[in-house]
Amino acid sequence: MKLRTILLFGAPGAGKGTQGKILGTIPNFFHFACGDAFRNLTIENEIGRIFIDYSSRGQLVPEETTIRLWKQSIEGSRRVGRYNPQKDTLVLDGIPRNATQAQIMSETLDVVAVFHLKCSNLDQLVERMQRRALRENRLDDANMEIIQARLETYERETKSVLDYYGTDLVHFIDSSQTPTNVLRAILDVIAALPPAQACSADAGLLPV
């Protein structure tokens, strides 16, 4: 049995984190933000060092490392009872981010909806990133060259991920709206999804 999953997809600064955190407070939803998991690591940690190396250049962390972190984090949350794969819908924010990750994760995930938070106003994205740079201690948001590199990485990977999931699963959401209206648009889709099936007892046991 695979893990029932909703994906939040969108450019840096599009508001995935804001929406993901809110969705994660709803009973039976569990929010996992890949960037937060990386940022929670320390420099003593091998994955933490790899993360700093790539993110400081605006690049994606290599597949093997990213998937390892994801599995370890989800399995850790399951073990301590924060995430219950039999009842909870996973809200994934920032992963999968390219078609290779989507392909690898397809063994584990039952993706029921993909929300593409789309912001056509580039200035608005950049402004949001620069505003959170100091507040959230995100050095990758402070430098214009790195912001540019991250936006380019996103543009390059976007189409392949959306193609991978196909038009039936992908819902476009205008993320230049207020957070309340973005949330309403997302909840309208979630409310119309078929209810979660009861999962088997061994659902979600990830080989780490």
Q: Given the rule CB under 6 A, which residues bind ligand ADP?
A: 12-13, 16, 34-35, 38, 54-55, 59-61, 66, 94-95, 97, 101, 140, 150
Task: State in angstroms the smallest separation of the CB of 206 from ligand ADP.
Answer: 16
Distance in angstroms (rounded) separating the CA atoms of residues 46 and 42: 9
88 neighbors 28 (Cβ within 8 angstroms): yes
> What residue type is assigned to position 167 of the chain?
T
199 neighbors 86 (Cβ within 8 angstroms): yes
Pick the closer one to ligand ADP by CB: 161 or 199: 161
Pick the closer one to ligand ADP by CB: 18 or 89: 18
Position of minimal CB gap to ligand ADP: 35
Task: State in angstroms the smallest separation of the CB of 191 from ligand ADP.
Answer: 26
Pick the closer one to ligand ADP by CB: 140 or 199: 140
Pick the closer one to ligand ADP by CB: 9 or 83: 9
Which contacts qualify for 150-155: CB closer than 8 Å, 24 or more apart?
150/12, 150/58, 151/11, 151/12, 151/122, 151/125, 152/58, 153/58, 153/59, 153/60, 154/11, 154/12, 155/11
Pick the closer one to ligand ADP by CB: 97 or 171: 97
Task: State in angstroms the smallest separation of the CB of 201 from ligand ADP.
Answer: 29
Cβ partners under 8 Å of residue 40, min gap 6? none
Distance in angstroms (rounded) separating the CA atoms of residues 122 and 199: 42
Task: State in angstroms the smallest separation of the CB of 149 from ligand ADP.
Answer: 9
Q: What angle, rounded to 10 degrees, do the helices at 63-79 and 46-55 form?
A: 130
Task: State in angstroms the smallest separation of the CB of 103 from ligand ADP.
Answer: 13
